Amino acid sequence: MPGEKCSVVEKWDPGLTRRVVDLTRLIVKSYFRSQVTGLENIPPGASLMVSNHSGGLVTFDHSVVAVDYYREFGYDRPLYVLAHDNFFRGPVADFFERTGVIRATPENAEAALATSSPVLVFPGGDYDVYRPTSKEYVVDFGGRTGYVTTAIEAGVPIVPAVSIGGQENQFYLTRGRRLARALRLTALERHLFRTNILPVTIGFPFGLSVVLPLNMPLPTKIVTQVLPPIDIAAEFGDEPDVRRVDAHVRAVMQHALVELARRRRLPVLG
């Protein structure tokens, strides 16, 4: 109907998505030598793909998965990804939505899952993507369990995925939560950017960096493994406990991430 607002999931443009994927393929396959395994574990219907998050402000986690997903399944069914509010400031918001990157809200997640498509989410968000290098092999969502509620309410399986290598694109010293509090920036950051961290990193070419200036990511090899789906109702009953499900998902992911770490020979080189 004229004047009716278009749903965010209806904005997905397969032609634009294909062009973006073709461009990012050059980056993830050449510069990061990306590899994705286990795509056959994505069920044909709707599912919530849950992954750890790496790489700081310059993260390629979504692109690594998307390039191989569309090569495997084509462009008949979108891969939606739930993203932080900061991606939707200014004129680029429409561009992201047309490529399947949508604001991480319960309503958008529900709408995307209703299309029988996989939806990729990084529950740890900024907390996870800026974890210290010393904890690069630790799955920690910072206590965030909303993804479990989303899967339960939508009646879809959770498909865990783990990624390794992204947290080696520079040296991550600290998330900087104490620094943010000491500088009394927490309230402002939460208001403007929906975050309460002030990450400190060391990289090339600027060396020590507190959020900005932006260091260039090293050409680290990124490997992502998609794991078998978890049927929540089958494993936890009709009234699953959210925290038990979350603990199980993270345990499965932690085991897989440790196995990937054991097979990794050298940092950056892979």
Q: Where are the domains of the chain?
A: 8-169+217-263, 171-216
Count CB-CB contacts under 10 A for residue 223: 20
Which CATH number applies to 8-169+217-263: 3.30.429.10, 3.40.1130.10, 3.20.20.70, 3.10.20.30?
A: 3.40.1130.10
Give residue 251's pLDDT: 98
Percentage of the chain with pLDDT > 70?
89
What mean pLDDT comes out for the span 36-50?
97
Distance CA 250, CA 197 (A): 23
Decide: 173 and 208 in contact? Cβ < 8 Å: no
Regarding beta strands 47-51 and 158-164, do their DSSP bridges make them parallel or antiparallel, or are they unpaired? parallel
Q: Which residue has the tokens 């009234």?
A: 239
Is pLDDT at 84 greater than 90 in this prediction?
A: no
Give residue 198's pLDDT: 78
Which of the four pLDDT bands, split at 50, 70 and 90, describes residue 95? Answer: very high
Give residue 1's pLDDT: 39
Is pLDDT at 2 greater than 50 in this prediction?
A: no
Is pLDDT at 215 greater than 50 in this prediction?
A: yes
Distance CA 65, CA 36 (A): 7
Q: What is the token pair recorded at 204? A: 């090339």
Decide: 120 and 80 in contact? Cβ < 8 Å: yes
Decide: 37 and 72 in contact? Cβ < 8 Å: no
Q: What is the token pair recorded at 261? A: 């770490």
